């Protein structure tokens, strides 16, 4: 239904609603927490939304809602973060961080389409995705949920997955509502302490954290979720400036806003800016939160506030109008249950997209010639705690971890671990194979380093699969120490002493401090949480069936104390480094190599049409994909600006010896900065344009441009 028609219908329905029915529409209930009877009671009261309820249970709740006086349908939400992973039969994709290594918006859009279809087939309407927070301090527990550290890349990939989720028509059977979160600056909390204060100014917010949400709004994102934390001491849940003045008036957002989990009560319990739930409810509603996630006390508190005149009914009317408008746009009154596509769960079409995502996520970070394996390799040893652990490979937000953690759940096929992937290709290529776990992520009495060393001695090549586990990341799990845990480093040294070539494979939620496990390995492959086929993609890279094309969306620190190491920092640090560490990260944003080589040349810029051209040549011996990354530096400006920032990128595939002239069209706004008055302006003067294979200076060619 057209937006204009939906608004008129919503206004008409709003006039028929009682105060109790209006306030109930603002309530979102967690089925998993209240249980069946309580859920049905809330449905009969007219609750606007439920989350974490699947299948027949959702259908029962919807029937109860449709039998109320006005028959207003429920919106069902689910945390389908990298696929509809809370359903054990769904297609599970690489994490946001992993798929961000693809630098491929078209792929990410397809990932959103598949996820939407499977969510819709479960009868649900809404995913709480994508995360548009930036992963700039890797101690934060939710790094795996981000698209990395960069505002531009995050905005491009976020807009793509929103288009995939929502499609062209919210009322069709196969698309769902997207929810851009967490608004705003949540990942920048001091000390990477989840939900704490982000000590940033409005200028910094506009420069760094707002742009991805602007792109989300431009992509038509239907809902926005506010963040747990605060900005400069003001809780985000109660910030009318951020939610109304900036989000709605400036960016033009016309959907509805939902709080994060129990965030209204947090104003009382944690942030202590409200004396009781009634005051907190008033603050949340007046700020512009349209839907209140799981703070069920809001219902009675708001009715009381309305009765005693502490809040005007117009505040509630505005919120409910936003919610009802979306329900009409989705045509839920006529089609209260999404239908999806029969038999689509993990169907061949969907699995093919998941495999493509895993393949394009694999990132080769170091290679002294060990990879791809040649015919002389006759025996392979796969060792390490994450080599054969699908829970580690999936990461967060799957049926192992939510809505209530249960690591004992039986894994559902299809999936391929690293051990399984390499073993299958060994068999196909007539290569002997052996496996030992060696050690656990956390030190354990079951660690058996001796067996691991023994099979390494008998191998021609060793693949050592390390990383972290679900106990070390996610909400409430920020890390102070990013070193490899348990005996992982000790086992590496033992394996290295055998003299056999070692490829370190990273199956991990975030950049960890790898030390010699990366720096002294013969090769390093990064897969992060690679989804169903992460292990197959790694194996294909090992045997040369896949030429890795991933590029890092995030930088790796050498030491926890080196943080932050994101590439686009401000100048001015005396000495430019810690006295006991190199200035550079272990691996930099944008970094990644392949089995061929590329050269950049002839960088030019045309002022008339803001067009950048450059030549890219495959100077190696095999076909490969390169990601051209375009960065900008404003040489002298009215406010301090970063040394470089990503403003565009483009992927190309070249045969050996092939050269291509690449054209990238910019806009005048790409040269803008946020000045001291919080205005986006292009200041005249010199700019440096840089085209590179990564954010590292040595990987770039540069030209000076004057505007």
pLDDT at site 406: 87
DSSP state, residue 186: G
Q: Is 59 helix (H, G, I), strand (E, B) or coil?
A: helix
The per-residue pLDDT for range 203-236, each reduced to its tens digit, is: 999 999 999 999 999 999 999 999 999 998 999 9
Distance of alpha carbon 685 from alpha carbon 699, whole angstroms = 25
Query: pLDDT value at position 170?
Result: 94
Q: Which band of pLDDT confidence, cut at 50, 70 and 90, is reported for residue 242?
A: very high
pLDDT digits (tens, 9 = 90+) for 286-309: 999 999 999 999 999 999 999 999
Q: Which of 154-168, 326-340, 494-508, 656-670 has the lowest mean pLDDT?
A: 326-340
Per-residue pLDDT at 377 exceeds 90: yes
Helix (H) or strand (E) holding 490: helix 488-496
Report residue 604 as tokens: 């030019």
Q: State the average pLDDT for the chain.
A: 97
Q: Is the pLDDT of residue 499 over 90?
A: yes
At residue 141, the pLDDT reads: 98
Does the structure show a pLDDT above 90 at 175? yes
What is d(CA 400, CA 13) in angstroms, rounded to the nearest whole number?
41
Closest CA to 138 of 153, 149, 129, 147: 149
Nearest-angstrom CA–CA distance, 542 and 111: 25
Q: 50-54, 95-99, 125-129, 515-519: which has the minimum mean pLDDT?
A: 50-54
Per-residue confidence (pLDDT) for residue 54, from 0 to 100: 84
How many other C-beta atoms lie within 10 A of the C-beta of residue 329?
22
Determine how many CB atoms are found less than 10 A away from the CB of residue 238: 25
In 439-540 the beta strands, taken as DSSP E runs, fall at 461-467, 502-507, 523-526
> String of b and e for 544-564 (b: at least 16 CB within 10 Å)?
eebbbbbbbbbbbbbbbebbe
Q: What is the pLDDT of residue 234?
A: 93
Candidates 432, 511, 500, 488; CA nearest to 462 is 500
pLDDT of residue 267: 97
Helix axes 105-121, 151-166, angle to 10 degrees: 40
- Composition of the chain by helix, strand, coil, percent to 5: 35, 20, 45
SS3 487: coil
At 61-93, the pLDDT tens digits run 999 999 999 999 999 999 999 999 999 999 999
pLDDT recorded at residue 494? 98
Phi, psi (degrees; rounded to nearest 5) at 525: -115, 130
Number of C-beta neighbours around residue 202 at 10 A? 15
Q: The whole model's pTM is what? A: 0.98
User: Is the pLDDT reported for residue 403 higher than 90?
Assistant: no
Task: Report the percent of the chain where pLDDT is more than 70.
Answer: 100
Q: Which helix (H) or strand (E) holds 78?
A: strand 75-78
pLDDT at 405: 86
Q: What are phi and psi of 321, to 5 degrees?
A: -60, -40
- Predicted local confidence at residue 40, as pLDDT: 98
pLDDT of amino acid 353: 98
Q: Which residue has the tokens 């600056």?
A: 185
Residue 404 pLDDT = 83
Quote the percentage of the chain above a pLDDT of 90.
97
557 DSSP assignment: P
Mean pLDDT of 496-505: 98
Q: What is the average pLDDT across 12-17?
A: 98
Q: Is the pLDDT of residue 554 over 90?
A: yes
Of 536, 501, 527, 521, nearest in space to 418 by CA: 536
Average pLDDT over residues 554-577: 97
Identify the pLDDT of residue 408: 87
What pLDDT, on the 0 to 100 scale, is given for residue 201? 94
Q: How far apart are CA 658 and CA 379, in angstroms?
A: 36
What pLDDT does residue 407 have? 83
């Amino acid at each position: 239904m057209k937006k204009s028609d939906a608004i008129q219908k919503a206004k008409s329905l709003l006039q028929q609603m009682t105060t109790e029915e209006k306030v109930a529409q603002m309530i979102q209930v967690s089925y998993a927490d209240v249980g069946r009877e309580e859920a049905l009671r809330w449905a009969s009261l007219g609750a606007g939304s439920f989350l974490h309820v699947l299948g027949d249970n959702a259908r029962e709740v919807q029937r109860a809602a449709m039998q109320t006086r006005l028959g207003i349908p429920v919106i069902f939400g689910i945390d389908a973060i990298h696929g509809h992973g809370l359903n054990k039969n769904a297609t599970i994709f690489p994490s946001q961080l992993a798929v961000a290594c693809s630098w491929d918006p078209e792929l990410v859009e397809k990932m959103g389409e598949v996820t939407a279809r499977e969510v819709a087939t479960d009868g649900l309407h809404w995913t709480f995705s994508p995360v548009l927070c930036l992963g700039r301090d890797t101690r934060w527990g939710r790094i795996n949920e981000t698209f990395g550290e960069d505002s531009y890349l995050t905005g491009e990939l976020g807009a793509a997955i929103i288009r995939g989720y929502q499609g062209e028509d919210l009322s069709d059977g196969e698309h769902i509502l997207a929810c851009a979160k967490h608004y705003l600056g949540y990942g920048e909390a001091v000390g990477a302490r989840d939900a704490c204060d982000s000590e940033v100014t409005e200028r910094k917010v506009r420069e760094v954290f707002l742009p991805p949400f602007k792109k989300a709004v431009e992509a038509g994102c239907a809902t926005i979720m506010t963040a747990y934390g605060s900005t400069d001491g003001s809780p985000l849940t109660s910030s009318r400036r951020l939610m109304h003045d900036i989000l709605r008036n400036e960016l033009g957002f016309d959907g509805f806003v939902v709080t994060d989990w129990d965030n209204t009560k947090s104003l009382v319990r944690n942030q202590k800016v409200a004396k009781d739930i009634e005051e907190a409810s008033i603050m949340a509603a007046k700020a512009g939160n349209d839907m209140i996630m799981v703070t069920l006390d809001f219902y009675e508190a708001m009715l009381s506030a309305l009765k005693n005149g502490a809040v005007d009914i117009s505040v509630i009317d505005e919120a409910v109008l936003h919610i009802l408008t979306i329900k009409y746009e989705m045509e839920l009154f006529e089609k209260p249950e999404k239908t999806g596509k029969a038999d689509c769960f993990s169907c061949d079409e969907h699995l093919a997209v998941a495999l493509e995502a895993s393949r394009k996520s694999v990132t080769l970070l170091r290679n002294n010639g060990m990879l791809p394996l040649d015919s002389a390799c006759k025996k392979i040893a796969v060792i390490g705690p994450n080599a054969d652990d699908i829970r580690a490979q999936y990461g967060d937000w799957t049926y192992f971890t939510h809505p209530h953690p249960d690591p004992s759940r039986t894994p559902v096929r299809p999936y391929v671990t690293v051990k399984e992937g390499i073993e299958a290709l060994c068999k196909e290529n007539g290569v002997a194979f052996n496996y030992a776990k060696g050690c656990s992520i956390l030190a354990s009495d079951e660690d058996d380093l001796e067996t691991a060393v023994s099979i390494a001695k008998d191998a021609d090549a060793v693949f050592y699969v390390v990383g972290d586990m679900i106990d070390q990341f996610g909400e409430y799990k920020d890390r102070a120490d990013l070193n490899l845990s348990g005996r992982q480093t000790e086992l590496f040294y033992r394996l290295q002493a055998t003299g056999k070539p070692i490829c370190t494979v990273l199956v991990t939620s975030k950049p960890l401090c790898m030390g010699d496990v990366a720096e002294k390995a013969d090769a390093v492959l990064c897969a992060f949480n690679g989804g169903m086929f992460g292990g197959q993609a790694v194996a294909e890279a090992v045997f040369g069936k896949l030429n890795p094309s991933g590029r890092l969306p995030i930088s790796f620190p050498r030491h926890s104390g080196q943080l932050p190491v994101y590439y686009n920092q401000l100048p001015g640090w005396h000495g430019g480094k810690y006295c006991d560490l190199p200035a550079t990260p272990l691996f930099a944003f944008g970094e990644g190599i392949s089995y061929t080589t590329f050269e950049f040349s002839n960088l030019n810029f045309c002022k008339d049409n803001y067009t950048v051209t450059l030549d890219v040549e495959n100077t190696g011996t095999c076909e490969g994909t390169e990601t051209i990354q375009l960065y900008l530096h404003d040489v002298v400006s009215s406010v301090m600006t970063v040394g470089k920032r990503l403003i565009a990128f483009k992927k190309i595939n070249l045969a050996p010896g092939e050269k291509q002239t690449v054209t990238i069209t910019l806009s005048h706004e790409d040269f803008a900065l946020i000045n001291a008055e919080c205005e986006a302006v292009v200041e005249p003067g010199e700019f440096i344009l840089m085209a590179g294979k990564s954010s590292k200076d040595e990987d770039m060619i540069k030209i000076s441009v004057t505007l």
